[in-house]
Amino acid sequence: MVNVSTKADSSKTSNAKAGSNTKGKRVFLFKDAYDHFKADRNLMKEMLGGKGAGLAEMTATGVNVPPGMTLLTSLCRDYYDNNQKFPANLFEEIKTELKQIENKLNKTLGDTAKPLLLSIRSGAKFSMPGMMDTILNLGLNDKTVESLAKLTNNPRFAWDSYRRFIQMYSNVVLDLSKDKFEDIIENKKHKLDISLDTELTIENLKELVSEFKQFVKTERHIDFPQNTDDQLLGAVEAVFKSWNNSRAVYYRNLNKIDHNLGTAVNIQAMVFGNFDNNSATGVCFTRNPSNGEKALYGEYLVNAQGEDVVAGTRTPKKISEMAKEMPTVYKELESTALRLEKHYKDMQDIEFTIERGELFLLQTRTGKRTAAAAVKVAVDMTNEKIISETECLTRVEPTQLNQLLLPSFEAENKQKAKKEGRLLATGLNASPGAAIGQIVFDPDQSEKLSSQGRKVILVRVETCPDDIHGIVPAQGVVTMRGGMTSHAAVVARGMGKPCVAGCEAFKVDLDKAQVVVAGKTLKQGDTISIDGSTGEIFLGAIATHDPELSSEFQILLKWADKVRKLRVRTNADTPEDAKLAREFGAEGIGLCRTEHMFMNQDRLPAMQEMIMANSADERKTALTKLLPMQKEDFIGIFKAMKGLPVTIRLLDPPLHEFLPKHDELVEEIATMKAKNIKGAELRQKETLLQKVRELKEANPMMGLRGCRLGLVYPEINKMQVRAIFEAAIAVKKEKIEVLPEIMIPLVGHVNELKVARAELEAVAQEVMQEAKTTIDYKFGTMIEIPRACVTANEIAKHAEFFSFGTNDLTQMTFGYSRDDAEGKFLQRYLEGVDCNGKNEKILTNNPFEVLDQEGVGKLMKIAVEYGLQTRPDLKLGICGEHGGEPSSIIFAHHLGLAYVSCSPYRVPLARLAAAQAMCIAEEKDK
């Protein structure tokens, strides 16, 4: 198995402990499993997997669950640790437990008189919908199919089940393409001039079984297995193998799930939704997973099996229709759903089968939901007294809040598009949100074009788990078939992507890479807009508008603010960003990057004039042009913050970043000479090239930048400090409180800060004396060099605050150049490198995205401890990109920082993550 530790980092320890507690028992009947593991629900999920734990718990609470057994997740690990060999004596243990199921049901696997049929399903600790394999109707062969037909007096049902089993088993165990079997079915229907599977007669189904078996023999040179023990052994091993199939590995990488957890295997007696027209199969949520509304939400199919619903091969009925079609069963489903929700204290995702009017539950698990639904469900359940406010705060993933801050289509623009005839079709509103992009039909193309910066919409007949690498980078998904609980819908909702499913008006032809709809033929590259909230699909792009946040969103953050200790500031360089961040709840600016103010085209010439200056006087002349520009920027920011602290970082990047690139200048000069262009224009370019060469450095990130630049060219930082204080005084005159914090960057030695502060504080005093007023201010530094961390006790003598610049601190600590690392080797470190034939991951997370607590974090801890020893009132914060990453925010809380700072759109995320950090700390203290 791939060696990675991400989610559930404690899994190895607790699993080992659990292994000793099971006293060698590796296979548990549902009825026994709950009693064995009920003391620790987390452990139960680790050992039985989420599905097995749910089946055990439902059985124990009296829910009607078909009997079965679960093989522990540790067996999957054993399988891989033993070079993919089936664990010794495991099959005998399975047969022993199976005997109890056979006795209870008075049926026997492989028996020609009363055959028992089984489903074999995967089930990991963390839900991985559709990523691993399932086999239904196991136990059918040429003899038992006849017995089943006779016992049920329904030969069509028996032969339909047999052809499904051959198709599924051949795909999962024998590795034959399921599409080949679908082709055989389609060819048969074409010859018979029928369109629906249900129109196939008994004889047609028997012919399909023969054709399926012949296909297996042709492709694999073996007869389709008739021995039911062989079938069972092959199916269990196939589920173990599916743990490491490509889509499962991709999904775990995407969701940071530990590759070492392994999957359980659930062996369960079959119940049949395809028995007759009084039978059905379906999936439902106890609340709406798109918007959180408290009502059953889902779909069902009459006379069908579960795979028909999730695979999207037939478009199912809405669950509300069952109230009329099967009223008694619907009432039972409603009451069972309510009981499960109260038991688990969360919204549930339920799979069920109705066999001849009797309701059976096959699975319950915590339902995946959109961000909007997550917030509403958590708040509503709190108001319903099902969970506490503290539990509510932990029910929403902080990163989900970002989805709620994304734009949607403006109603007026949608209406205009409709009048223009641009509404192409309306499908099922499977996952809310707005997306605009170019059509692609192939998941590989989606991945490729998205990596080039293109925005795409993945259009498919239906999606399957193998398409996930194309769904992830796409802006949204459209499917021609499938329902609200199809693969595309579930995956898109989990990722917060818009999805329109079951849009049958979209006639998708994958071979021709086109879709015909509303009399139009659309090709790859054509732009469409999809509204996942309404199911509408439009031709071309539609303008969007900013989101309207729900009352539940505001309530959740209000509760978070009551709990959290860590303050949340924002990284903002313009008044517009500052105002937006305030609206999202920012409590100040933790990083204002002054270099961004010089990048505007109207200011760049003055900045370049300053850089090209040959003397201090020439630089000062150029800087007098920049001073009023900087002052106006700071006035706008101070006004937007209205008395909240504003940390302003003085110029940080090397000067060459404000000049044209070296190679571009060389090429431009060569072209001018080739065209015989001479005179002042050419001399100007050559002078510019000479300056670029003078400023060129072997390693500019560690060269003349930050405080070094300010010490060598002090007039630059002096101009900035004058602009800050003149702006602060101007705003103060308008009766608005101002709290500037001047941050001197890239300090590695105490003397750098000592000298720089002395020079700059003199300017601040001079400006205040000129205006005959005072401003409450602080001087501090950005801690981004390892040496600054280990000498923080000295640096704190001259700093009133430390702000950790974790981006550069990570670069310096690892010795990575971020641009080079991410472009050349970092992805390989994350995916894994070959080590004696095994894939070994070097890093669990990208350290530029998730704070490296073991390395960078230890340096931060040293800096905090040393800094507080010297200055007990030292203000501590973090302003790197990690300030908006949930696990890094939790670390900042534990480290005792006063605040984190992040981009405006991540402020709500940080507020919730800071509250969760407090909840975690309080739980540990209990």
Active site residues: 487, 879
DSSP run (H or E) holding 547:
none
What type of residue sits at position 636? G
DSSP run (H or E) holding 252:
helix 246-255
Give me 447's structure tokens: 């991945």
First to last CA, the chain: 36
Q: Are 128 and 252 in contact (CB under 8 A)?
A: yes
- Three-state SS string over 96-112 comes to HHHHHHHHHHCCEECCC
Cα gap 898→392, rounded to integer Å = 24
Q: Are 899 and 566 in contact (CB under 8 A)?
A: yes
Cα gap 47→528, rounded to integer Å = 46
Give 27: exposed, middle or buried? Use CB within 10 Å, 0-12, 13-18, 19+: buried
Using the Cα atoms of residue 710, residue 711, residue 715 and residue 719 in order, give the sign of their dihedral.
positive
Side-chain-side CA neighbours of residue 464 (13 Å): 12
* Distances in whole angstroms, Cα of residue 387 to Cα of each of 307, 364, 393, 671: 34, 19, 10, 71
Give me 798's structure tokens: 């001259």
DSSP run (H or E) holding 923:
helix 907-925
What type of residue sits at position 759? E
Give me 659's structure tokens: 């000049």
Using the Cα atoms of residue 424, residue 430, residue 435 and residue 441 in order, give the sign of their dihedral.
negative
Cα gap 825→832, rounded to integer Å = 10
If we measure between CA atoms, which residue out of 471, 197, 470 comes closest to residue 308?
Answer: 197
Cα gap 198→52, rounded to integer Å = 33
Q: Are 617 and 600 in contact (CB under 8 A)?
A: no
Residue with tokens 């109260």: 342
DSSP run (H or E) holding 385:
none
